[in-house]
Amino acid sequence: MAEGMSWSVTDGDKLTQAEIYGEVLAQLGDKYSNIVAITADLASSTKIGRFGKKFPAQFINVGIAENTMFGMAAGLAQSGMLPVVSTMAAFASLRSAEQVRTDICYQKLNVKIIATHAGISFGQAGSTHHCTEDLAVMRSFPNMTVIAPADGFETGNAVVAAMEIDGPVYIRIGRGFEPPVYKTQDYDYKIGKAIKMRDGKDITLIACGVGVLQSMRAAEVLKSQGLEARVINMHTIKPIDKDAILEAVTETRRIITVEDHSIMGGLGSAVAEVIVESGKACAFKRLGVPDVFAIVGYPEDLYHYYKFDADGIVETVGALLKMEIEEDENWEDEA
Amino acid sequence: MADKVMLTNRIVLRSIMPLFKVLYEADYMSVRKLLGKYDGVIQFCIKGTDTGAYLEFKNGGLEVLQGIHPNPDVVLPFKHAAGMNALFTGGVPAFGGFPKGLYKITLVGKLLLLMLGLLLLMPNVNPKEPAKRELKVKMIMYMITNALSQLNKGGDEDMMVWTGKQPDRIYQMSVDPDGPAAYLRIKGGKTKAGHGKYTRKAPFVHMRFNGIEGAYKVLGESKDTVSATSDGDIKLEGSPEYAGVMGSFMMRIQDMLMPPKK
């Protein structure tokens, strides 16, 4: 928690990732007078508008022109400003990939990108608004730091911490209805340092974003089956915490990665690279969206369909350990 | 298509009548203290059918059981399902004959006190005592979750479609920090209502009320959830879309249990 920062998260309407980041950004405006918030007609959806209300002179809505927006951000950063750019993940990482890569990352410019509606969190909107490729794209850009916070509290911490980094940072968050994982923002958050949410010796679930909550829920079910699952919140995809991964490989020998992203190129791939390069052997499974364009539906249904919700994780653990997971099939004792 | 009267009757028998037990255990109007030692069975039934439920007072306790008791002490026969529904929804009940066993004053007295207790469910009944307000909240929570399950089991097509496509999910209602709680579990078309918090897995949708007063505003005074959310009386965690659909089914139940228009 950065010194001097204080925001109340006791209100229900501030429990979402977007709400908190909007609030945090508005407060950071007092600390960093050179922040310029930029959006492409999504001030309300992405909550960056909260900053705009407080600092109207430092707020730019470029209209529906994402490529221009990132080019402008690069120019502003060159001029000593601290641009914070917010749009949906699909537009930030796919439509504007060239501007982010060449205008921003190539020059290691101090631009912070907060991408909302990442993964399949905007499930109903279909493939044009799904974004299951952003982690793969962004982590392949040199100089880019890539973060997928677990919830609103962590998003707040990530935004604060991102300001201390001299260079581009990509923070991807959901649609805004993701339940919290943490009860408070006061915990030891450091970019690049994974957080062990719970310890276990039987298997390790390495997760980011909404995968963290699902993993925590799965671990509770597994506990009832006598299994102790370690849960690691790998909020920073790049630079990735190799020590946490290798420690888990050594101590649990079984790794499952969980992400709201394609299983190709995201957290699962990043973790796999670390394990393979270490020469250590372990049972390994990636959970996320397979190599398909995701179907359309409510995100919670899609998480279940692609088996990276708590049920899917439990099922995968059962298959990996070749054990029967006991179901609650008592439907008779209705209250 | 599910018959609305029969569906309502199912809710009356299985969702409302079990609240007698809640009232009894809470010793509402000292009914247990005053008349707890008198055992016996009170049968509610629809004449000429095996549809009914009975209250079995035994050893100071009360069980509400479905079906027909072989030897009840008091029998309240109704002409038809609608006639029984009316008694519990503010209408004029239609009896299918003269009630039996009314001379058993202690049992009838218990029943009358418990029936008075059910009036707590009415929107216009606003007790001031905190214990009664909590009881009202608890009863409404229990009734809603159970009625949602009955809607599914009773064959409401929309509900069956909705539950049929869902994996194992918990719809939890609870009063913070440690007040009453109830849940509805759904899995592939099956449903089950339960009291307290479901412990095996986390809620898919969790309606968390801010204390008894927060819950009372929403459940007791029908404050709309949008205002209640912005005022901090309720926090909704989980899928807003599914919570919204569940809310629409709750409205359907409320509509079924409204007194008939004059």
d(CA A15, CA A184): 10
Q: Do B235 and A15 touch (CB under 8 A)?
A: yes
Q: Is the pLDDT of residue A7 over 80?
A: no
Number of neighbours of residue A94 by Cβ within 10 angstroms: 16
| CB–CB contacts below 8 A, A to B | 58
Q: Do B235 and A12 touch (CB under 8 A)?
A: yes
Q: Which residue from A11, A179, A328 is facing B200, i.e. has the nearest CB?
A: A328
Inter-residue contact A257 to A282 (CB < 8 Å): no
Residue bearing tokens 């916070």: A149
Chain B: give the shortest CA distance to residue A99, in Å: 35
Q: Which positions in chain B touch A311 (Cβ < 8 Å)?
A: 167-168
d(CA A301, CA A299): 5
**What is the residue-wise DSSP string for B32-85?**
HHHHTT--EEEEEEETTSS-EEEEEEETTEEEEEES--SS-SEEEEESSHHHHH
Q: Is the pLDDT of residue A3 over 60?
A: no
Nearest partner of A86 among A170, A30, A16, judged by Cα: A170
Residue A74, SS3 per DSSP: helix
Residue B28 pLDDT class (50, 70, 90 cuts) = very high
Does A8 contact B at CB distance below 8 Å?
no
B154-206 per-position pLDDT tens digit: 999 999 999 999 999 999 999 999 999 999 999 999 999 999 999 989 999 99
Inter-residue contact A247 to A194 (CB < 8 Å): no
Question: What is the radius of gyration, based on Cα positions, of chain B?
Answer: 18
Give which of B200, B206, B227 to mutate to test A binding, by max A Cβ within 10 Å.
B200
Inter-residue contact A38 to A71 (CB < 8 Å): no
Chain B: give the shortest CA distance to residue A327, in Å: 10
With CA atoms as reference, the chain B residue closest to A224 would be B200
A298-319 per-position pLDDT tens digit: 999 999 999 999 999 999 999 9
With CA atoms as reference, the chain A residue closest to B201 would be A221
Q: Is the pLDDT of residue A287 over 60?
A: yes
Does A298 contact B at CB distance below 8 Å?
yes
Residue bearing tokens 């009881």: B135
Asked whether the CA dihedral A90, A94, A95, A96 is positive or negative, the reply is positive
Strand order in the sheet with A195-198: A195-198, A229-233, A203-207, A254-262, A283-289
Q: pTM (2 decimals)?
A: 0.90
d(CA B149, CA A135): 42
d(CA B12, CA B90): 12
Does A179 contact B at CB distance below 8 Å?
yes
